Amino acid sequence: MKAFLARHGEGYLEVKWLPQQIDRLRTRADRAVVELLDDYHTLDYLHTAAGGRRELIERLLDLAARLGGPTVTLDPANVTLKRVAGVTTWPVGSTTHVVRNKADVFVLSTECAESWRRVVFGHSLASTQAAGRCIRIFAQYGLLALAWRGAGVVRPVAAMCDPDRPLTPLPSVRRPVITIDGAPVDGDIARSPLGAKAFAECAGALMLANMVLENAREDFSDAVKDEQWRVASLCGRRIVVMAVRILASAWGVTPLPGDPVLLDGLGQLVPEHHHLAEIARRLMELSIRDRDDALRAQADLERFVAQVRQATGGEAFPSSFSSREQWQQTIRHGYQWLRMGGYLDAYVELDETRDLLASGGAQPGARASSRRATEK
């Protein structure tokens, strides 16, 4: 309409004077122009429910063509799905994450994840197997673009704003922020409160703490079996430290401070679980002198670890060092997260974490035995 008015001498661009411009033109226009202005006025006040969204859009496109715009046929075969640069997909366990521009992490619901897997770039809206509702969400969030066949990307235009920029909603308030299987699902699509790099760093720290905890549990059991009470005490405290790191990492704390600082501030960093912070501080004082002490400490530690893993969604973390199969499961979990971390140039806490990728699935104990046999 603005272009039409400009061709008839009404060149002011601001939309707020549009009614006055139309009224001025009406006083000097011929019948054909007046009919166009009347049709515009009718459609401007027409509610969608009067004929349905599709009928309204078709009438608007017809009027636009009559006003001098291009003729457009409302046919989904004309709109194709186009890849957006910087958008990558990271499945972890059963959770699908989509990273946008190495900055934002989105987690998809089961329905949206299924549609995302069905997206084939180059297919049209008429031929895609992805749900239309999900395609709309993906386009709004800038995860894919819609292109007019043969004419490039469709870009929305609106006065005094830039609707071509992707939607960035408020972050999810679900806690924990991250689990061993990814960010928690929150509606159709949710943005993590962590930036992409911090998200990957928390994931790496979470995986590493879980692995070291499993190693400390094994060491604790061996120390008790051999009646090495001082070693058992140290291993027990190490279990507590790793459980605290798990909790903090799951709540998005990165980088992790030193363990004494983390333990002291855990109640503020993870306010939903003050009681776990209190238990952790108590268990850090444990001292084992005999088998009875060891059995009591073991029961307390196992209960604490179970509570932490329940709070952080880590109940299914494998017993990494109990069998080759469990170690393989640990490797698979770690590999998924490390791939994302490598892509985002995230900080990896220890070199041993990187070594997971080159371990071939062999248990550390098995590798050590192999080295000793070779040396002999």
Average of per-residue pLDDT values in the chain: 88
So what's the pLDDT on residue 364? 44
Average pLDDT over residues 158-164: 69
Per-residue pLDDT at 309 exceeds 90? yes
Per-residue pLDDT at 77 exceeds 50? yes
- Bridge partners of residue 98, in order along the sequence: 89, 106
- Angle separating helix axes 324-343 and 196-225, nearest 10 degrees: 150
Question: Sign of torsion, CA 326 332 333 335?
Answer: positive
Rounded to 10 degrees, the C-alpha dihedral 203/206/207/211 comes to 170
Per-residue pLDDT at 163 exceeds 50? yes
Average pLDDT over residues 71-77: 88
Average pLDDT over residues 341-352: 80
So what's the pLDDT on residue 153? 92
Determine the Cα–Cα distance for residues 136 and 145; give it in Å rounded to an integer.
10
369 pLDDT band, cuts 50/70/90, is very low
So what's the pLDDT on residue 350? 55
Q: Are strands 152-153 and 79-83 parallel, antiparallel or unpaired?
A: unpaired
Sheet of 79-83: strand order equals 79-83, 144-148, 152-153
Question: Sign of torsion, CA 369 374 375 376?
Answer: positive
Among 92, 79, 150, 151, which Cα is nearest to 121's?
79
| Amino acid at position 39, single letter | D
Indicate whether this model's pTM tops 0.85.
no
Per-residue pLDDT at 112 exceeds 50? yes
> Most confidently modeled of 4-18, 28-42, 235-249, 313-327?
235-249
Q: Which residue has the tokens 């698979």?
A: 332
Higher pLDDT, 132 or 157: 132
So what's the pLDDT on residue 292? 96
> Could you read off the pLDDT of 24-62 as tens digits, one per residue?
999 999 999 999 999 998 888 876 655 678 888 889 999
